[in-house]
């Protein structure tokens, strides 16, 4: 069996890579892998994953070296024979990763947003970058809305955010606070963080970012600037809140949610998002394949958590019932625990999306390891609002049945399948993205 075939089998099975460094090519000069794209990933998480892979592969003296260009570095290791192994990481924004794949100046794209249709079309010669093998969710992140630590506001809704960042709301007094003129801080146009904010907050309401906003390529610099400005507000990836204050967010009829780990893990938090590696199917770089497989492994996900992002490791969570929950859901929360994963579906489809396909294996492993496969699991489906509530109830249960079909194949016997229709929305139903988030299936264990 060739090394490339072995890697592909491991990727498909979600297994960690365990080959030794000697099995991977180490050319006499030049990098073995070039990664370009998201600053959110490339600033720390990407290099940490590369370092972890290198150590996992038996390389010695592993470290990172800063380069002359800002937001670029080189991760370096050494074979037992003394040969230097280099991986280049350039973190100038998600869109630059896809551009680099097109010009063959990168082997792997890091992105803090899904690939756009235009990018998918431009890169079709590399294979289908939306295929399960190509599109790899490596972590979950939440966009935190940050203020100066002494700003008294504790909650904002997405409508207010759109008005603030478009410049329509000009003073803190308009929002019930105080401090005078609002100062805006935002990531630059190349940033996946900016793309995500623009998509879920601004574009959904037909608004654009105000030109007066101060723009940053560096997440750390943006956060530090807000924390020093009593009139400032910005948006940032979860690990970069630093000294600033994060506020709770409301979207549509959702409850107010802080960017807490549990709410981001399930993607219930309104400004949660996925972080991706995109691996060209027609690529031939075994180091890229090894890094993707390592990032999905338990060791890789531990590095994700250590860098302040949310790992995809499945855990059981206790949910406190409250009066806003349907009675049946309250009863469930009194007797069972919810797993830290939501199954979601491809747009306009009952087909599980790429992350859900990966999560099936993780959930199954959890159920087997904790001896929960025999009538100790309840699936709970939710959907977006329909004109006919009965249809919403039916569709929510059908989504839960779609997950059931997959897990039954591996011997799971379920206690119950429930559908709660359009109740308990986690996002506004006024846009496609919100409806997709509301169409979800939760897993509960007894």
Domains 142-263 and 314-445 share a fold: no
- Chain-centre distance for alpha carbon 398: 26
pLDDT at 2: 39
For 314-445, the fitting CATH number among 3.30.420.40, 3.20.20.70, 2.30.40.10, 3.30.1330.60 is: 3.30.1330.60
pLDDT, tens digit, for every residue of 204-256? 899 999 999 999 999 999 999 999 999 999 999 999 999 999 999 999 888 89
Closest Cα partner for 273 from 235, 245, 246, 221? 235
CATH class of 142-263: alpha beta
Candidates 38, 84, 376, 354; CA nearest to 217 is: 38
CATH fold, domain 3-134+279-306, is D-Maltodextrin-Binding Protein; domain 2 (3.40.190)
What pLDDT shows up at residue 432? 60
Model confidence at 312: pLDDT above 80: yes
Q: Answer whether residue 56 shows pLDDT above 50.
A: yes
Mean pLDDT in residue range 88-98: 97
Domain chopping of the chain, boundaries: 3-134+279-306, 142-263, 314-445
Q: What string of DSSP letters covers 308-347? A: TSB-----EE-----TTS-HHHHHHHHH-EEEEEEEEB-T
Q: What is the pTM of this model?
A: 0.84
Instruction: Evaluate if residue 21 carries a pLDDT over 60.
Output: no
* Predicted confidence band of residue 431 (pLDDT cuts 50, 70, 90): low
Which pLDDT value is given to residue 386? Answer: 67
Angle formed by the axes of helices 286-296 and 45-56, to 10°? Answer: 100
Q: Indicate the pLDDT class of residue 3, thresholds 50, 70 and 90.
A: very low
């Amino acid at each position: 069996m060739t090394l490339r075939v072995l890697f592909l089998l491991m990727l498909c099975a979600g297994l960690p890579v365990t080959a030794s460094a000697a099995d991977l090519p180490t050319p006499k000069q030049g990098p073995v892998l070039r990664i370009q794209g998201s600053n959110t990933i490339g600033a720390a998480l990407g290099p940490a994953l590369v370092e972890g892979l290198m150590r996992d592969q038996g390389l010695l003296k592993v470290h990172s070296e800063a380069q002359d260009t800002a937001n670029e570095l080189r991760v370096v290791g050494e074979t037992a024979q003394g040969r230097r192994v280099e991986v280049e990481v350039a973190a100038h924004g998600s869109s630059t990763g896809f551009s680099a794949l097109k010009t063959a100046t990168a082997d792997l794209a890091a992105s803090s947003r899904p690939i756009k249709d235009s990018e998918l079309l431009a890169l079709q010669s590399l294979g289908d970058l939306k295929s399960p093998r190509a599109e790899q969710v490596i972590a979950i992140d939440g966009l935190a809305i940050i203020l100066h630590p002494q700003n008294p506001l504790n909650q904002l809704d997405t409508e207010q955010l759109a008005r603030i960042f478009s410049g329509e709301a000009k003073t803190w007094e308009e929002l019930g606070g105080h401090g005078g003129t609002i100062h805006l801080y935002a990531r630059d146009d190349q940033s996946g963080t900016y793309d995500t904010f623009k998509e879920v907050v601004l574009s959904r309401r037909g608004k654009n970012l105000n030109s007066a906003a101060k723009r940053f390529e560096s997440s750390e610099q943006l956060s530090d600037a807000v924390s020093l400005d009593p009139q400032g507000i910005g948006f940032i990836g979860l690990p970069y809140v630093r000294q600033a204050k994060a506020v709770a967010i409301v979207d549509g009829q959702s409850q107010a949610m802080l960017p807490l780990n549990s709410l981001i893990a399930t993607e219930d938090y309104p400004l949660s998002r996925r972080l991706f590696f995109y691996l060209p199917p027609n690529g031939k770089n075994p180091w890229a394949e090894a890094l993707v497989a390592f990032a999905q492994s338990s060791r890789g996900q531990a590095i994700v958590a250590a860098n302040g992002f949310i790992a995809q490791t499945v855990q059981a969570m206790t949910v406190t019932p409250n009066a806003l929950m349907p009675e049946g859901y309250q009863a469930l929360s009194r007797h069972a625990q919810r797993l830290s994963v939501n199954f979601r579906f491809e747009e306009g489809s009952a087909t599980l999306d790429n992350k859900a396909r990966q999560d099936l294996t993780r959930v199954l492993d959890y159920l087997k390891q904790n001896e929960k496969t025999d009538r100790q699991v309840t699936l709970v489906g939710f959907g977006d609002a329909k004109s006919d509530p009965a249809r919403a109830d039916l569709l929510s249960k059908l989504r839960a049945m779609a997950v059931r079909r997959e897990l039954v194949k591996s011997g799971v016997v379920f206690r119950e399948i429930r559908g709660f229709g359009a109740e308990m929305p986690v996002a506004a139903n006024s846009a496609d993205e919100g409806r997709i988030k509301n169409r979800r299936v939760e897993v509960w264990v007894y």
